[in-house]
Amino acid sequence: MKLGFGGAALGNLYRAVDDRSAVATLEAAWDAGIRFFDTAPYYGLGLSEQRIGAFLRGQARSDFVISTKVGRLLDPDAAAVGIAERHGFVSPLPFKVRFDYSYDGVMRSHEESLRRLGLDRIDVLLVHDIGVMTHGDAAPAHFRDLAESGYRALDELRAAGDVAMIGLGVNEWQVCADAMTIGTWDRFLLAGRYTLLEQEPLHAFLPACIDHGAQVILGGVFNSGILATGTRGRDRPHYNYEPAPDDVMARVAGIEAVCDAHGVSIACAALQFPAAHPAVDCVIPGLASPGEVLRAVDLAGRTIPTAFWADLVDAGLVDPAAPLPGGSA
Q: What distance lies between CA 120 and its chain's CA centroid? A: 23
Q: What distance lies between CA 97 and its chain's CA centroid? A: 20
Low pLDDT (below 50) residues in the chain: 327-329
pLDDT tens digits for 192-202? 999 999 999 99
Q: How many domains in the chain?
A: 1
Q: How much is the pLDDT for 92?
A: 86
List residues with catalytic annotation. 38, 43, 69
Q: How much is the pLDDT for 328?
A: 36
Q: How much is the pLDDT for 327?
A: 40
For residue 217, give the amino acid letter: I
Residue 194 sits at φ, ψ, to 5 deg, of: -125, 100
Nearest Cα residue to 88 out of 127, 130, 44: 44
Q: Answer whether residue 94 is part of any domain.
A: yes
Q: Answer whether residue 232 is part of any domain.
A: no
Handedness of CA 291, 69, 213, 221 (dihedral sign): positive
Q: How much is the pLDDT for 82?
A: 78
The SS3 call for residue 280 is strand
In angstroms, the CA 69 to CA 211 distance is 24
Q: Answer whether residue 328 is part of any domain.
A: no
Q: How much is the pLDDT for 329?
A: 32
Q: What distance lies between CA 66 and its chain's CA centroid? A: 13
In angstroms, the CA 64 to CA 123 distance is 9
**Domain span at 52:** 5-191
Q: Answer whether residue 222 is part of any domain.
A: no
Asked if residues 168 and 146 have their Cβ atoms less than 8 Å apart, the reply is no
Q: How much is the pLDDT for 317?
A: 98
Q: Answer whether residue 63 is part of any domain.
A: yes
Q: Answer whether residue 256 is part of any domain.
A: no
Q: How much is the pLDDT for 326?
A: 80
Residue 259, C-beta contacts closer than 8 angstroms, at least 6 positions apart: 265, 266, 269, 308
Q: Answer whether residue 13 is part of any domain.
A: yes
CATH assignment at residue 36 = 3.20.20.100
The verdict on pTM exceeding 0.85 is: yes
Q: Answer whether residue 129 is part of any domain.
A: yes
